[in-house]
Amino acid sequence: MASSSGNDDDLTIPRAAINKMIKETLPNVRVANDARELVVNCCTEFIHLISSEANEICNKSEKKTISPEHVINALESLGFGSYIAEVKDVLQECKTVALKRRKASSRLENLGIPEEELLRQQQELFAKARQQQAELAQQEWLQMQQAAQQAQLAAASASSAQQAGSSQDEDEEDDM
């Protein structure tokens, strides 16, 4: 629904939202399409009506921002006083929900560990791990060295024993 003219008056509540409300209010009633379109436009008209009235009340009170009080007075003076009780209830509910959300998020921030601390702890763990790895590697290397030395010694003694044995044989042959 692109509006190239950008005309503010083309602003309306989305048709789907209105259809849903009509359906909930008048279940099982068939509503003509042009009637639905009309309700959409009536909504815009209603919002303008309330805004203008509330704005006037606001101007008279010399405040710059339209407050809930101004809207409630506007509803009363325009004959929609019957809406006031329910509308006030919803406002209370909205505030309670917003308050709960704020409390929940601040509690979480207090219990949790701040990000910098978490990073520091992570670095510490990495460093520790690297050190352990290095020590382990060194140990293994030493063990290998020792094993290699032992193997060398063992091999050396074995070969010298063999040499001694073979030279004896040679002597015997010469004598015959």
Partner 1 sequence: MSDANMEEKVEQATSSKTISLPISRVRLIMKSSPDVSCINQDALFLTTKATELFVQHLALSSFKNGSGKETNTLSYSDLANVAEETETFQFLTDILPKKILAREYLKSLEEMKKEDGNL
Binding interface with partner 1 (CB under 8 A):
8-9, 11-14, 17-18, 20-22, 24-32, 34-35, 38-39, 41-52, 54-55, 64-68, 70-72, 75, 78-80, 83, 86-91, 93-95
The residue type of 17 is A
CB nearer to partner 1: pick between 29 and 104: 29
- When the beta carbons of 77 and 139 are compared against partner 1, the nearer one is 77
Q: How far is the CB of 66 from partner 1 (least distance, A)?
A: 5
CB of 123 to partner 1, least distance (A): 43
Residue 70, classed as helix, strand or coil, is helix
How many whole angstroms separate alpha carbon 132 and alpha carbon 54? Answer: 72
The nearest distance, CB 91 to partner 1, in angstroms, is: 5
Residue 102 Cβ vs partner 1, minimum distance, rounded to whole Å:
14
Residue 48 or residue 120: which is nearer to partner 1 going by CB? 48
Beta carbons of 71 and 50 less than 8 angstroms apart: yes
73-112 burial: b if 16+ Cβ within 10 Å, else e: bbbeeeebeeeeeeeeeeeeeeeeeeeeeeeeeeeeeeee
Q: How far is CA 129 from CA 48, 109, 138, in A?
A: 67, 29, 14
| Closer Cβ to partner 1, 8 or 116, answer by number | 8
